Structure 1
Amino acid sequence: MMSPPPPSKEKQGFEFWPLSPTSSSGKHKESWPLFREAPAFRNGNQCVSVHRRKSDHAEDVCDSSSVHIAMTLDVAYLRGSMAAVFSILKHTGCPENVIFHFLVSDRDAELSALIYSTFPFLRFKVYHFDEALVKSRISASVRLALEHPLNYVRSYLADILEPCVKRVIYLDSDLIVVDDIVKLWGRRLGSHAIGAPEYCHANLTKYFTASFWNNEGLAKIFDGKRPCYFNTGVMVMDLVKWREQNYRATIEEWMESQKETRIYELGSLPPFLLVFAGDVEPIEHRWNQHGLGGDNLEGRCRSLHPGPVSLLHWSGKGKPWIRLDARKPCPVDNLWAPYDLLLPAASSYSS
């Protein structure tokens, strides 16, 4: 669906978007946190000019001269999403040349209005993701949050986004970008459908169960490859190749295999490893300093990896906004805090 028109003039620049107390199912719905309006980020003279449709705030998502970023929006991570968008706009030289594609599974119009009120000049479109597409295929994970259907959106981007969108950067909501996103966008993928930082020192065997490795028919998927771990929270994706090869169907097949025999424990990541490990265009590690949220069970503090940093990613259980609110932040959480758009009097959501 297209983004709805902007709120009427009397509501433009508002700090809070009131919501109905119940959903269509009759369940009580909490109100959103309160966010301050972000500054207006404008293009410099060196940027390619963009043509915006101002009448209804709908964007020309077929703009091939723009950077395309896909993210999910949900209540638990909304505060992180706002910080992520803010960080991207703040550090890019051509902020008006960035188009955001937001995937939501509930309260689409309300979330779109909230985005517009926080970023009045943002180029974006909201798409509805039908959780029924994936719900029956999701198996239990080591952490409940990893079972949310929106975690599987990245497998469906090529189907949901318009065919004219040929390339996209997928980003999780628990990260900030401290470099110009154009540098990541410009990475060539060669013959590969995705590009991501690889971590070849990681022990790939721990991402799959003994049932997987003891089954020769399954384990042979890695024969002839040099499979490396990569984090799916930061990926450059060639959607043309994705559609041609129908990778969505291949990932779904692995999820069906998981329902028959438990071959992995960790949510949406293992199917991506099964399909793409050993077939990824490597990108510098600076573009995913991941694991800052600790492990998936305890979420203990971790420090930055050695080397330069372009993107900080709080993958794992610990989220910076939760630890900051609890007054028990990890040192690295203070790097996230300047991008927090939550108004001081507002309460945050826990994941």
Structure 2
Amino acid sequence: MDFINIVLASDDNYAQHTAVTMASVLHNTKSPRKIFFFLIDDEIKPENKLKITKTVENMHGNIEFVKIKNNDLNNCYVSGELSRASYFRLDISNILSEKIKKIIYLDCDLLVYADIAELWALDMQEKPLAAACDLGIMASGRLRDQKNNYIGLAYDAPYFNAGVLVMDLQLWRLGNYAVDVIALASDNKFPNHDQDALNKFFMDKWQEIPLKWNVIPPVFNLFVKILLKNELRKKAIEAKLNPAIFHYAGGYKPWEYKVYTGFNEGYYKYLAMTEFRDSIMPQFDKRRKNRSINRQIFRLRLADFWAKLFS
């Protein structure tokens, strides 16, 4: 069987959320038996590994836990809410067997609403990396200045979000890219951490995928800075109305609040399909500053208005 290989990386704090992401993948694919998860395990407790395994197997998927071996990743810059697991994606070509030639990488704070086989089948145009543009950064003059200063990105060049990646591991190994990207991440204190390192290294060597495959807060909230740019606005509204992946990047995580339709009901739906279904909810992360949900709900309602207005 030809598997669809999906890689995630998690510590124990994100074990439950990783299971929810996996459940969303398996529930929405026509061929769950073709899904093979590789979970890079950063000290996940045995009882939580068992819950993740049972979740995947009960939904007819496949899973293998793998360990990070590269000590150089310990030198990478970590700040704010970021954990070191974020950098693990940089060494996937070395972590996995050479038999694995291609993978999809997913962050653990997202939900997949479409068949992941569609993303797997997209043409990478012989590029080592494929990703969706980060409109939040591309629409911001301040962040454009930042990316120009830190990674040398031209003001009119695209910049991608690293939460969803398709990686040609054959090309990564052929070019020994992991060594150079990890060195970049280790030697610099980039504001967007490994994402900046990836954008700097692959600046002209990545393939854009449809925005619907990584709908981040600036898109589902339709920030004004995006609405003011015609080309970006069109892409954002199309992706918001038909999301294939809803990515809770940023400050508002779905598990920290009770169910709010239009925001996090999907998380609770897929949580019920996992072995974590009896967990006490909501779950506030002590590492994060508590935020009122009212502002987020207002943003979503306003975004719905803008989407109807411009559609």
Provide the rounded CA distance (Å) in 1 between the counterparts of 2:254 and 2:33. 28
Q: What is the aligned-residue identity percentage? A: 21
Find 1:276's aligned residue among 202, 205, 212.
202
Determine which structure has the larger helix proportion and give its number: 2
Find 1:158's aligned residue among 88, 93, 97.
93
Q: Is the 8 A contact 2:72 2:186 kept in 1?
A: no
* Deviation per residue, 1:109-143 (Å, 9 max, x gap): 5443222233334311110124733112x2243x2
In structure 1, the partner of 2:165 is: 235
Provide the rounded CA distance (Å) in 1 between the counterparts of 2:207 and 2:237. 22
Letter in 1 for 2:159: Y
**Partner SS for 1:163:** coil
1:244 Cα deviation from its structure 2 partner: 1.0
Provide the rounded CA distance (Å) in 2 between the counterparts of 1:131 and 1:111. 24
The alignment yields a C-alpha RMSD, in angstroms, of 3.0
**Partner SS for 1:268:** helix
Q: Is the 8 A contact 2:185 2:193 kept in 1?
A: no
Letter in 2 for 1:338: K
**Partner SS for 1:317:** coil
In structure 2, the partner of 1:343 is: 277
Taking structure 2 as the reference length, the TM-score comes to 0.74
In structure 1, the partner of 2:193 is: 267
**Partner SS for 1:197:** strand
CA gap 1:208/1:243 in 2 versus in 1, 3 angstroms: farther
The equivalences for 1:10-21 within 5 A come to none
The equivalences for 1:1-351 within 5 A come to 50=1, 65-107=2-44, 109-120=46-57, 121-130=60-69, 132-136=71-75, 138-141=76-79, 143=80, 145-146=81-82, 148-199=83-134, 201-203=138-140, 206=143, 209=146, 213=149, 219=152, 222=153, 227-258=157-188, 262=189, 264-291=190-217, 305-307=236-238, 308-324=242-258, 329=260, 331-341=262-272, 342-344=276-278, 346=280, 348=283, 350=285
CA gap 1:273/1:321 in 2 versus in 1, 3 angstroms: same
Taking structure 1 as the reference length, the TM-score comes to 0.67
Structure 2, unaligned stretches of length 5 or more? 222-234, 288-311
Provide the rounded CA distance (Å) in 2 between the counterparts of 1:226 and 1:345. 46
**Partner SS for 2:216:** coil
Q: State how many pairs are aligned.
A: 262
Letter in 2 for 1:127: V
